[in-house]
Amino acid sequence: MLEHNIYYNGDLVVTRVTGVIKSQEMIDHVFWLIDSHNVGEVKSGFKQLIYTDGVESMELKEEDIYRISQISEGIGQTRGDFKTAIIAVEPYDTKLAYLHKSLAQKSSLEVEVFDDFADAFNWLGCDNPDPETLQ
């Protein structure tokens, strides 16, 4: 399950991933970002933080990451350049996070992988909007 929170008037999107991670759900997330930008809920050049919390299993494969990158590079470019911080601590999500980072290097998207919130927010250049929850 994915839970989205928008902070700083659309400048920051924080996505919590829990339970069973499915490929279609992650692809839907990319389309949600595009739609949210198109209606003005998320601003151009936004910052994004994605983190896992209590993941039971991951039904996401390398080809799904390729598809997500293709969508972001294609129709997702209307959102402008943006930064994505991924907090990955489990071996399976770390591997996929680094694959996403390597694919993003071919585009204007910036992706970095972290193992804690403080470093991720520092790299994004913004304060933690909910330090009691996001730690």
**Does 10 have pLDDT greater than 90?**
yes
pTM: 0.86
d(CA 54, CA 75): 31
pLDDT tens-place string over residues 58-108 = 787 878 878 877 787 766 565 566 788 989 877 656 766 766 677 666 666
**pLDDT, tens digit, for every residue of 117-127?**
999 999 999 99
Q: How far apart are CA 66 and CA 54, in angstroms?
A: 25
Task: Please give the torsion angle defined by the CA atoms of residues 22, 27, 29 and 35, in that order, rounded to the nearest 10 degrees.
Answer: -150
3-state secondary structure of 118: helix
Please state, in angstroms and as integers, the Cα–Cα distance from residue 37 to each residue in 31, 82, 101, following that order.
Answer: 10, 12, 22
- Note the pLDDT tens digit of each residue in 13-54: 999 988 888 889 988 988 898 889 889 899 988 999 999 888
CB count, 10 Å around CB of 26? 22
Residue ranges of domains in the chain, CATH in brackets: 2-124 (3.30.750.24)
Give bridge partners of residue 5 from the DSSP assignment: 14
Neighbouring C-alpha atoms within 13 Å toward the C-beta of 80 = 11
- Count of CB atoms within 10 A of residue 44's CB? 13
Say how far apart CA 64 and CA 22 lie, in whole Å. 10
